[in-house]
Structure 1
Amino acid sequence: MQNTFPTIAFSGIGSVTVTIIHAFYQNQVPFKILCRNPDRFQSLGKTPIRFQGPNGKITSIDLKNHLTLADTESEKFDYILIGCKNQNLKEYLEETKPFLSPKGKWILIQNGIPESNFKSYQNQIIGGVVGWNTQTLSDGLYYQSNVGSLILGEMSGDKPNPIWNQILPPHLPVILTDKLNGFRWHKLAINSIINGLAASKRQSLGELFLNYQSRKEALETLTEIKELIQKLNIKEQVVPGSFPIQKLGGGNGALPNWIRHLILIILGLKYFRIRTSMVQDLDNGRTTEIDFINGEVVKTAKELGLPVPKNEWIVSKVKEQTNKTN
């Protein structure tokens, strides 16, 4: 069986990539981690990483035999998963280009619509939409708080190789799609409130969604994106475990207002203490991805002449917060 696996590498190790690595590790799927700097190579090789899934079980993952220094690697890979922030994506693609086999593909697991910036690589990119939340806790434990799928779709509009159905489940469910854009825009809308709006107020999801005014702002944000998706003629594809923007946003097809508020209250109670990635970036003085989340909405809406004042407000507020922390 092992001989039938494609060759797979990771460039960039963080909460999302560690969740995928955990599934590979459990399923004994071979993979390599392309380390960009020797210090990272040493630290990852010295201490196993600890991962806790939604079932509560903690796994120790020894990466020692999976590490390689990028500047000494000569192998070519069928797939390279890129685990960096959007703002570093171009640099990571250029650095890993020599390691891609002639028919190889990058897998982009960033938030937003990362593929839109790399149209020249249309046949070499698979988009990966992440349907789970994993955080790094203060003791270094990677904690996945909810069961979620990895949704994979070719940038060219095809479904990816079905081998992914064999190498990630049951630890990570997979959906192979030819409707990548529909999933991307759905996830972008969700991120616009749980990341963008939460960061604009520097709040946990509990603080955010248990406040009436913040819920009202969240629904306004989603309504703007719903109108934008309709204007783009994109059919929304709902990430499993999530909720349709067509029903959460206002206008045609919307649920009654009190139900929309109730859904956000339940979300706030369920993930009360969660500080999502953009809030954590502000907490730690890092640059956020706001330009690639609500900023993507603002940019696309401007091209279509559609007003999105709430998303514009979020972008400006997050940038204010960034300036305060830097």
Structure 2
Amino acid sequence: MKSPTIAFFGIGSVTVTILHALYQNGIPFTILCKDKTRMESLKTPIRFLGPNKKTTVLNLANHLQMIDLVTLPFDFIFLGCKNQSLENYITLTNHVLKPDGKWIFIQNGLPEGHFLSLKDKIMGGVVGWNTQVLSDGTYFQSNVGSLILGQTNGKKPDPRWHQFLEPWIPVVTTEHLLGFRWHKLAINAIINGLAASKQSSLGELFLNLKSRNEAIAILSEIKTLMKKLNVKEEVVPGSFPIQKLGDGENALPKWIRHLVLIILGLKYFKIRTSMVQDLDHKRKTEINFINGEVIQIAKSLGVSVPYNEKVVSEVLTLENNF
């Protein structure tokens, strides 16, 4: 069977990690550029440091193409942008996606829910790793993490994604994308949202008793929403069930929950997650699509989520002070 054609529109930490796996496996891919300046910048090789501590130099010059010069459309297009730019990225790539092709959303939050009219043309990708850009420009993937791929129509994606990305990225294909999405939303609400509100690394966050209590309260609010929506949690490999960390049914003893967060803080002590880095560089965050998404859903259900509201208020205040 002929391999599908794969493209990327928007290059950042997550997309670089995915194209690194394709690059290593010799799978063809195209990077779409909307302006020549960006195209020229990507001709400079990218250094990628994986969790195996080995550095790979990615020469992407032969993978670049101006989007307005594309002659053959693609089966899959990874959209590497923030949630707030998704609609624009869809518009810009609509003419280069095959009629039966799919956009792959790798954003945080619940992005597929904002494009229900396009559900047959969307795949969701839940990312289980952290990649950040070091001071010398190297992309550093700090942990081995899976890519969970699911279709919004409930069908399993093409199983060939395993051979395209593994062993560099373990792949999970699922019929239960929403369960993984909610799990990752909850995790991001603390490691991104709460950490951003305090502008702290994960070590600073989870080695602080008050912050751990706030994290558990945030997870408890999300756990309540999931129960009301009848969403069954699907745990991202290597992560920990929200159902056991949040208060209420199935919760572990509180001292164990604190211990789990302490271990997480020690393991990733220096990591400043993406939203924290956005504030470090005085960029707008995706807070409205993480904790803000929780707030909007809670309002529709008549549920109070004061801890998530506090996080959003504090992050927006920091943004407004830029």
**4+ residue runs over 2 A deviation:** none
- Any unmatched runs of 5+ in structure 1? none
Give the match's secondary structure for 2:42: helix
Pairwise CA RMSD: 0.7
1:27 matched to 2:25 = yes
Quote how far apart the aligned CAs of 1:36 are: 1.6
1:208 matched to 2:205 = yes
**Partner Cα distance (2:135, 2:86) in 1:** 27
Counterpart residue number, 1:154: 151
**Partner Cα distance (1:125, 1:84) in 2:** 15
1:99 matched to 2:90 = no
**Matched ranges for 1:308-323 at <5 A:** 308-323=305-320
**Matched ranges for 1:236-275 at <5 A:** 236-275=233-272
**Partner Cα distance (2:314, 2:246) in 1:** 22
Counterpart residue number, 2:167: 170
| Pairing partner for 2:51 from 39, 51, 54 | 54
Give the match's secondary structure for 2:101: strand
1:148-177 CA distances to partner (integer Å, 9 max, x unpaired)? 000000011111111112111111110000
| Pairing partner for 2:79 from 78, 82, 85 | 82
Identity %: 64
TM superposition score normalised by structure 1: 0.98
Quote how far apart the aligned CAs of 1:102 are: 1.4
TM superposition score normalised by structure 2: 0.99
Quote how far apart the aligned CAs of 1:4 are: 2.4
Equivalent residue letter for 2:12: G
- Any unmatched runs of 5+ in structure 2? none
1:230 matched to 2:205 = no
**Partner Cα distance (2:135, 2:66) in 1:** 27
Quote how far apart the aligned CAs of 1:75 are: 1.8
Aligned residues: 322
**Matched ranges for 1:268-307 at <5 A:** 268-307=265-304
Counterpart residue number, 2:16: 18
1:269-317 CA distances to partner (integer Å, 9 max, x unpaired)? 1111111000100111111000000000000010000110000010000
Equivalent residue letter for 2:35: N
Counterpart residue number, 1:111: 108
